[in-house]
């Protein structure tokens, strides 16, 4: 690799205080309420860096994958250095494109002392890469270099840059870390192209998994088909298949695809942190094996010191185990390494919701909207919060109207399930019909068909014949799901609700009870309370009020159990209204 235009300077600078990305703000409505530890002031580590997206300087703008790939590889190399703090790709990729960069502001937003930026130009089989290291606290240029090499040497080039940056920041490299930096990801640049294309897609998985995951998986399959030894691609393929499994394609075939990718990673590099992390995701999503996943994470954390997924997944596991405070601590550690990851921030908000700590949940939503004011999903969730917390439908109703007026254009969000909840809470059958998606909607890994929701509306209107017809159609659909998702409690509990709507009391109770057995709270502290709530609803619909109130009382004491606003307003619970036991449970959940 030929180098020229070298510029160096001292990397040490005066440590300053900055906003780390964790917000401190007064919460509304309660005097003296504690605040979420979100933008707490703390010293920025001197050995900290964000690698911003490299600019594509090639005449062919289709070569952007090469700039993305070099930046991604340098970032991955630095993230695996234990003596450094490196910000995750999800956060830094938000600075890609023709956005004017104020490096001091970016440093404050990401909580780092240093920023690396650069550009990549390809001409035929030659590549030129420039890289510049800046002290984000002072705007001082510390180091810069331009490299010129053959395309086939591009991974040697990225290793040189990563080692040079570690040296400038005086970060100690262990022999294993130095070896990892020098290892090329693949020798097939076309496979690398597929891999980076998939990673760019997977950055958006927090918004539309059903649309994004299949093409990303297809790209990764092409990558490993070209290079069966492409370790990082196998790890990404395992994660993507596992994520698709847990978010909708809950089939043995999808889980088998994930496990095949994990096994391929183990054959290539059994001791790598990424291998243990891929196995941890698979054990968590695919098997609900929390102890096994935690053991894999313990191994992964020794080799992946700056990988936010390690803390993120540990947070999710602790949440499923009912250890909510530990879950929050780990999710906040993840956001320290990935401070502009909207999905992780949304998950922190979800955790506060599970604990019914709604003021803090609202504060997290405010932070998300400060990063991305047009994030429609967060706007909807913040409006839904008022319904859940205070049984107020007006904010959600107004937002729903504005979204429809905008005709679901950019910057808005298809209100979907949330619009159905709002319309049902207001007992507006016409608005409920308008909000229904022909495909139904999913919630917490459970799918509700359009036919089921039609039955709920007809039941609310006391149109018995329409309700029976809709529930009969819904039953045929749900039976197919139960047959393909065997021993999956939430799907079986929906079948129980349908049978309750049809008056099949014995079947409904058997299915509802079996669902609780299949997914006890001890096994899953998130979906476990959901199937208890479904059993209570089943009992209410078939006239078993004692059982309904008993199960509701249990759910009311659990995180992610029944929610005040929905219990108070939704028609599902109408058979229990007026029962003193039910009214007492509702009152116990009301805002104080």
DSSP sequence for 457-500:
HHHHTT-HHHHHHHHHHHHHHHHHHHHHSTT-HHHHHHHHHHHH
Interval 261-273 mean pLDDT: 97
Among the listed residues 92, 138, 137, 98, the one whose alpha carbon sits nearest the alpha carbon of residue 117: 92
Q: Which residues neighbour 35 within 8 Å (Cβ) at sequence distance 6 or greater?
A: 24, 25, 26, 27, 360, 363
pLDDT at 99: 67
Confidence band for 98, pLDDT divided at 50, 70 and 90: low
Higher pLDDT, 553 or 17: 553
Q: What is the pLDDT of residue 87?
A: 96
pLDDT band with cut points at 50, 70 and 90 for residue 448: confident
Q: How far apart are the first and last CA of the chain?
A: 67
Residue 407 — pLDDT band, cuts 50, 70, 90? low
Residue among 363, 422, 431, 362 at smallest CA distance from 387: 422
Q: Determine contact, residues 107/115, Cβ cutoff 8 Å.
A: yes
The pLDDT of residue 216 is above 60 = yes
Q: Does residue 275 sit in helix, strand or coil?
A: helix
How far apart, in whole angstroms, are the C-alpha atoms of residue 85 and residue 12?
Answer: 15
Q: What percent of the chain has pLDDT over 70?
A: 89
Q: What is the pLDDT of residue 20?
A: 28
Q: Which residue has the higher pLDDT, 535 or 430?
A: 535
CB 78 within 8 A of CB 180: no
Listed in sequence order, the residues at least 6 apart from 591 whose beta carbon sits closer than 8 Å to its beta carbon are: 358, 389, 390, 564
Position 23 scores a pLDDT of 29
Give me the sign of the Cα torsion angle 384, 385, 389, 395: negative
Check pLDDT > 50 for residue 13: no
- As a whole number, the mean pLDDT across the chain is 88
pLDDT at position 411 is 45
Rg of the chain (C-alpha set)? 26
| pLDDT over 60 (residue 29) | no
Which helix or strand (DSSP H or E) is residue 5 part of? Answer: strand 2-8
Q: How confident is the model at residue 419 (pLDDT cuts 50, 70, 90)?
A: confident
- Reported as a single tens digit per residue, the pLDDT across 308-362 is 999 999 999 999 999 999 999 999 999 999 999 999 999 999 999 999 999 999 9
Residue 413: pLDDT over 60? no
Mean pLDDT of the 373-381 span: 89
Q: What is the pTM of this model?
A: 0.84
Is pLDDT at 9 greater than 60 in this prediction? no
Six token digits for residue 562: 């029944």
Tell me the C-alpha distance between 276 and 294, whole Å. 10
Residues 495/476, Cβ–Cβ less than 8 Å = no
Give the pLDDT band (50/70/90) at residue 206.
Answer: low
Please tell me what DSSP assigns to residue 84.
Answer: -
446 C-beta neighbours (distance < 10 Å), count = 18
Contact 447, 435 (CB under 8 A): no
- Give 515-534 pLDDT, tens digit per residue: 999 999 988 898 899 999 99
Residues in the chain: 592
As given in the structure block, the two tokens for residue 73 are 């590889």
For 130-188, the pLDDT digits (tens) are 999 999 999 999 999 999 999 999 999 999 999 999 999 999 999 999 999 999 999 99
Q: Give me the mean pLDDT over the 115-136 stretch.
A: 95
What is the structure's pLDDT at 77?
95
């Amino acid at each position: 690799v030929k180098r020229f235009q070298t510029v160096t300077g001292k990397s040490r600078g005066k440590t300053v205080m900055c906003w780390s990305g964790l917000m401190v703000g007064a919460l509304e409505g309660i005097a003296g309420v504690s605040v979420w530890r979100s933008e707490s002031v703390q010293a920025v580590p001197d050995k900290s860096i964000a690698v911003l997206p490299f600019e594509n300087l090639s005449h062919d703008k289709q070569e952007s994958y090469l700039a993305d790939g070099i930046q991604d590889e340098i970032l991955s190399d630095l993230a695996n250095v234990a003596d450094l703090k490196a910000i995750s790709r999800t956060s830094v990729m938000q600075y890609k494109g023709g956005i004017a960069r104020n490096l001091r502001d970016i440093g404050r937003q990401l909580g780092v002392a240093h920023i690396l930026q650069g550009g990549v130009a390809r001409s035929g089989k030659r590549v030129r890469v420039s890289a510049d290291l800046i002290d984000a606290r002072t705007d001082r240029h510390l180091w810069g270099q331009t490299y010129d090499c053959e395309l086939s040497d591009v991974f040697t080039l990225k290793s040189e840059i990563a080692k040079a940056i570690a040296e400038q920041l005086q970060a100690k490299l262990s022999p294993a870390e130095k070896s990892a930096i020098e290892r090329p990801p693949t020798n097939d640049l076309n496979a690398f192209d597929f891999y980076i294309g998939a990673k760019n897609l997977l950055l958006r998985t927090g918004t539309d998994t059903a649309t994004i995951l299949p093409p990303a998986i297809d790209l990764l399959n092409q990558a490993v088909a070209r290079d069966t030894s492409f370790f990082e691609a196998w790890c990404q393929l395992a994660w993507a298949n596992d994520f698709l499994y847990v978010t909708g394609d809950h089939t043995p075939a999808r889980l088998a695809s994930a496990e095949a990718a994990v096994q391929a990673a183990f054959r290539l590099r059994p001791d790598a942190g990424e291998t243990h992390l891929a196995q941890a995701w698979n054990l968590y999503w695919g098997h609900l094996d929390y102890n096994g996943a935690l053991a894999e994470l313990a191994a992964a954390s020794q080799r992946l010191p700056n990988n936010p997924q390690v803390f993120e997944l540990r947070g999710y596991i602790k949440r499923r185990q009912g250890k909510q405070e530990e879950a929050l601590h780990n999710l906040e550690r993840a956001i320290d390494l990935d401070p502009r990851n909207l999905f992780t921030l949304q998950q922190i908000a979800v955790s506060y919701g599970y604990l019914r700590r709604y003021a803090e949940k609202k504060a997290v939503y405010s932070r998300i909207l400060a990063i991305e004011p047009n994030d429609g999903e967060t706007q909807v969730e913040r409006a839904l919060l008022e319904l859940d917390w205070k049984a107020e439908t007006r904010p959600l109703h107004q937002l729903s109207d504005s979204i429809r007026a905008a005709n679901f254009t950019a910057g808005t969000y298809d209100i979907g399930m949330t619009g159905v909840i709002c319309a049902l809470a207001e007992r507006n059958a016409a608005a409920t019909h308008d909000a229904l998606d022909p495909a139904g909607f999913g919630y917490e890994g459970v799918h509700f068909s359009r036919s089921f929701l039609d039955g709920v509306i007809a039941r609310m209107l006391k149109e018995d014949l329409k309700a029976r017809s809709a529930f009969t159609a819904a039953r045929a659909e749900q039976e197919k799901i139960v047959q393909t998702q065997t021993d999956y409690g939430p799907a079986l509990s929906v079948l129980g609700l349908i049978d309750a709507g049809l008056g099949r009391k014995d079947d409904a109770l058997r299915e509802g009870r079996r669902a609780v057995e299949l997914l006890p709270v001890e096994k899953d502290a998130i979906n476990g309370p959901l199937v208890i709530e479904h059993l209570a609803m089943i009992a209410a619909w078939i006239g078993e009020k004692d059982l309904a109130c008993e199960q509701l009382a249990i759910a009311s004491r659990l995180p992610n159990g029944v929610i005040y606003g929905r219990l108070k307003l939704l028609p599902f619970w109408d058979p229990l209204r007026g029962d003193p036991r039910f009214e007492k449970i509702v009152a116990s959940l009301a805002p104080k």
